[in-house]
Structure 1
Amino acid sequence: MPEYRRILLDGAVVDTVRDGDELVSGDGRRVMAAEATHLPPVVPSKVVAVHLNHRSRVEEFRIELAETPTYFHKPTSALNSHGGAVVRPAGCKWLNYEGEVAIVIGRTCRNVSPSGAGAYIAGYTVANDYGLHDFRDTDAGSMLRVKGSDTLCPLGPGLVTDWDFRGKYLRTYVNGTVVQDGSTDEMKWDMHYLVADIARTITLHPGDVLLSGTPANSRPVQPGDVVEVEVEGLGRLTNHIVSGPTAIRTDVGAQPTESEEVLSTALGGDWEFRGIRPPKKA
């Protein structure tokens, strides 16, 4: 399966094709993939994400899944890349990973059927749909700051074409330990359905990204942690968590909170029943 990566090479943004352990540019230059400075593999005009899709995640929250999916938007300013730092702002502490498969649109898509949606997909990449749950009580359910803050949308390492999404494992690791272990087969709505659903009223352009949902066990991570998301056939997306140097401004806007909604989401929905308590404030 061909894999395409965007990297920074000698100061320029360059499209490359992976050849084993090397990345090859159009002019023939080669660089070791492990040494390359990666960029997001695509340049979307929008990133749309489904709220809930994986059966294990729904069961974890002890809720009933709706008959049709609901979505939220991550601004393109949240984009990040393989090897990039994910910033947890100072004064916040409920930053959760969410390993996912990202769908990448290949040509302008509007009003297509689920059976025909595959023809509009360029390929797939790995995503980590980070959530800053300190802001979960704000923005009237849009999750703009929760999911749209800077650096919270890593994609990569590459765009893989001709990938069959059926029956593929999805795993997230924190410091080398498996923390999420799911499969695309536990998704209620597959990739083609999601594309067709959004494209009923929103035109999707080449490069646009749809995030397809995460399995159970999204949990908070701390500065210094290394988080990896591995999807069978798509590779492994690696990022590290850092602390932002400045605190959230207190002279404007809603402030970080630790409500029951924040804690139950960050800690898995049933934290109070499992005897888990949030850490004491410093």
Structure 2
Amino acid sequence: MPEYRRILLDGAVTRVRREGDVLVSADGRTVGAEDAVHLPPCEPTKIIAVHLNHRSRVEEFKTTLPPAPTYFHKPTSALNAHKGAVVRPARCEYLNYEGEVAIVIGRTARNISPEEAGAYIAGYTIGNDYGLHDFRDTDAGSMLRVKGSDTLCPLGPGLVDDWDFRGKRIRTYVNGEIAQDGSTDEMEWDMHYLVADIARTITLYPGDVLLSGTPANSRPVKPGDVVEVEVEGLGRLTNHIVEGPVPIRGDVGAQPTRSEEVVSTALGGDWEFRGIRPPKR
């Protein structure tokens, strides 16, 4: 399956093709895949993510799926890349990974059927839909800061343009240990359905990204941790967590909290049903 990446090659943004462990540019220059400075594999005008899609995640939250998917938006300023640093701001504690498949649009799409949607997809890459749950109390509806803060949308390492999404394993590793283990077969709504659903009212442009949902067992990570998301046929997306040097400002806006909802969501439960209490400081 052809895989294409965007890297910095001699200071210039360059599209390259992966050939084994080597990345090759159109003019023949090469660089080792492990040595390259990666960029996100696409340039979206928008990033749209589905709230719940994997049955294991639904069961973990002790809830039920709605009759149709619901979505939230991640700003493009949240974009990050393979081997990039994911920042947990100072004064925040609950930064959760969410490994998933990212759909990349290849043609302008509007008012298409699920059966037509495949022709509008450029390919697929790996995403890690990080969530900063410290802001969940105030942003639970929009998820703006929870999911849209800077660096919280790594994509990569490359774009695979001939990949069948059916029956593929999704695994997330934290410091080499398996943390999530799921399959695209447990998704309630497949990739084509999601594209067609959004395109009913929102025009999708080439490069736009749809994040398709995560399996169970999203949990907090801390500075120093290495998080890898591996999807069968798409490779492995690697990032490391760092502490933001500047604390979240306390003189404006809602502040990070450790409420029942924040802690329970971060640790994998539905706070309304489980009544988990925040740990004492």
Please confirm whether the aligned pair reaches a TM-score higher than 0.5, indicating the same fold.
Answer: yes
Corresponding position of 1:116: 116
CA RMSD of aligned residues (A): 1.6
Q: In structure 2, do the counterparts of structure 1 residues 73 and 271 end up closer, same or farther at CA, with 3 Å as the change threshold? A: closer
How far apart are residue 264 of structure 1 and its match? 1.1
Q: In the alignment, residue 63 of structure 2 is paired with which amino acid?
A: I
Checking the alignment, whether the CA contact within 8 Å between 2:258 and 2:278 is kept in structure 1 is no
Corresponding position of 1:103: 103
How far apart are residue 87 of structure 1 and its match? 0.1
Q: In the alignment, residue 159 of structure 2 is paired with which amino acid?
A: L
Unaligned runs of 5+ in 2: none
Corresponding position of 1:236: 236
Corresponding position of 1:261: 261
Corresponding position of 1:88: 88
1:15 matched to 2:15: yes
Identity across the alignment (%): 82
Q: Secondary structure at the match of 1:31?
A: strand
Q: In structure 2, do the counterparts of structure 1 residues 175 and 273 end up closer, same or farther at CA, with 3 Å as the change threshold? A: farther
Q: Secondary structure at the match of 1:254?
A: coil
Corresponding position of 2:58: 58
Structure-2 separation of matches of 1:276 and 1:125: 35
Q: Secondary structure at the match of 1:138?
A: helix
Corresponding position of 2:172: 172
How far apart are residue 139 of structure 1 and its match? 3.0
1:36 matched to 2:22: no
**TM-score in terms of structure 2 length:** 0.97
Q: In the alignment, residue 264 of structure 1 is paired with which amino acid?
A: S
Deviations 1:188-237 (A, max 9, x none): 00000000000000000000000000000000000000000000000000
Structure-2 separation of matches of 1:49 and 1:275: 27
Corresponding position of 1:193: 193
Structure-1 separation of matches of 2:146 and 2:96: 10
Q: How many residues align?
A: 281
Unaligned runs of 5+ in 1: none
Structure-2 separation of matches of 1:278 and 1:261: 9
How far apart are residue 274 of structure 1 and its match? 9.0
Corresponding position of 2:49: 49
> Following superposition, which runs of at least 4 residues in structure 1 exceed 4 angstroms of deviation?
270-280
**TM-score in terms of structure 1 length:** 0.97
Deviations 1:119-148 (A, max 9, x none): 000000000000000000113510000000
